[in-house]
Amino acid sequence: MKVALFIPCYIDQFYPNVGIASLQLLEKLGCDVSFPLEQTCCGQPMANSGFASLSKGCDANFVKNFRGFDYIVAPSGSCVLHVKEHLHDDKNPLEAEKIRNSVYELTEFLTDILKVKNINARFPFKVGLHNSCHGQRMLNLSSMSERVLPAFSKPQDLLNMVQDIQLIKPKRNDECCGFGGTFCVFEEAVSVKMGKDRISEHQANDVDYITGVDSSCLMHLEGILNRQGNKIKTIHIAEILNSSL
């Protein structure tokens, strides 16, 4: 199984540990993983700001890097969603289509494709799970409180396989953290208020860590936690699943 690892730009630059954990985890689970070296970004920052028209070069570069793999896996629901919904390349329309259909968020790849039943990991801490909106509502990684459907959660199923972990849900289980891409700077006040409110619910549960499938949400929460001098830490789910503490 030839898997390409897609490491979103900000994870590449700021959170290499998330990339390392994703790579090691996939390799442990028997995948033949490559990291295409000339990759940059999925183009979401432009598209969500209304500038989808400017993402042609970025898209073409993405297609050039990720053509020819069975699967493309990324530790970020939001970037995966963007590729799935919006990746186009006029010069290679079929390749782009193939990529759109074979790109997976890490946890859905583990549960749906690899059908992982056991994970050799231990993480003896109290952990609050943050449901990232794009993963949850659009990639369908978990059920949501708005809809009347049976409850499920792919990230939670995986975390339940981790030894000694104590998972605690916040009161409003699936509310947005307020990151929202460029929203976090153009609507700074609301963005931060939303983040503060997410944190206080996790704080009420006395968690050690907040985890999730999107480093972007975690980066935003981490920024507020650090400003508050709060002892709660953020950690990407890949790092927990790859952990052997």
Partner 1 sequence: MTPKHADLAEQFITDEPRTNWHDETLWFVREKRDKAVHGIPEWEDLREWGSQIKNHSLSNLSQYLKEFEEKATANGIQIHWAATGEEHNQIIHKIIQKNNIQRIVKSKSMLTEECHLNDYLEHRGIEVVDSDLGERIVQFRKEAPSHIVLPAIHLKKQDVSETFHEHLNTEKGNNDPQYLTEAARGHLRDKFVESELSITGVNFAIAETGGFVVCTNEGNADMGAHSAAVHIACMGFEKIIPKAEHLAVFLRLLARSATGQPITTFSSHFQKPRDGQEMHIVIVDNGRSTQLGREDFRNSLKCIRCAACFNTCPVYRRSGGHSYHTSTAGPIGSILNPNLDMKANSDLPFASTLCGSCTNVCPVKINIHEQLWKWRQEIVKNGYVDTTKKIGMNGMAVLFSYPAIYRLTGKIGRWVMRVVPFITNNQLNPWYKQREMPKPPKESFRDWYKKNGNSQKN
In the complex, minimum distance from the CB of residue 78 to partner 1, in angstroms, rounded to a whole number: 9
Residue type at 35? F
- Is the CB of residue 49 less than 8 Å from the CB of residue 182? yes
For position 180 contacting partner 1 by CB under 8 A, the verdict is yes
**Binding to partner 1 in span 15-34, by CB under 8 A:** 15-16, 18-20, 23-24, 27, 33
For position 43 contacting partner 1 by CB under 8 A, the verdict is yes
In the complex, minimum distance from the CB of residue 19 to partner 1, in angstroms, rounded to a whole number: 3
DSSP secondary structure, 56-106, as one string: HHHHHHHHHHHTT-SEEEES-HHHHHHHHHH---SS-HHHHHHHHHHEEEH
What's the rounded Cα separation, in Å, for the pair 92 and 242? 36
For position 152 contacting partner 1 by CB under 8 A, the verdict is no
- 50-to-113, 139, 167, 175, 231 alpha-carbon distances in Å: 33, 22, 38, 24, 37
In the complex, minimum distance from the CB of residue 131 to partner 1, in angstroms, rounded to a whole number: 10
Which CB sits closer to partner 1, 160 or 226? 226
Region binding partner 1 by CB under 8 A among candidate stretches 13-21, 99-107, 113-121, 205-213: 13-21
- Nearest alpha carbon to residue 157 among 123, 206, 120, 119: 119
Binding mask 47-86 for partner 1 (x = CB under 8 A): xxxxxxxxxxxx-xx-------------------------
Q: Site for partner 1 (CB under 8 A): which residue of 7, 129, 213, 232?
A: 7
Which CB sits closer to partner 1, 43 or 212? 43
Q: Site for partner 1 (CB under 8 A): which residue of 160, 163, 166, 226?
A: 226
Which CB sits closer to partner 1, 10 or 157? 10
Which CB sits closer to partner 1, 54 or 94? 54
Which CB sits closer to partner 1, 51 or 152? 51
3-state secondary structure string across 176-206: CCCCCCCHHHHCHHHHHHHHHHHHHHHHHCC
Which CB sits closer to partner 1, 95 or 197? 197
- Is the CB of residue 219 less than 8 Å from the CB of residue 244? no
What's the count of helices (H) and strands (E) in the chain, helices before strands? 13, 8
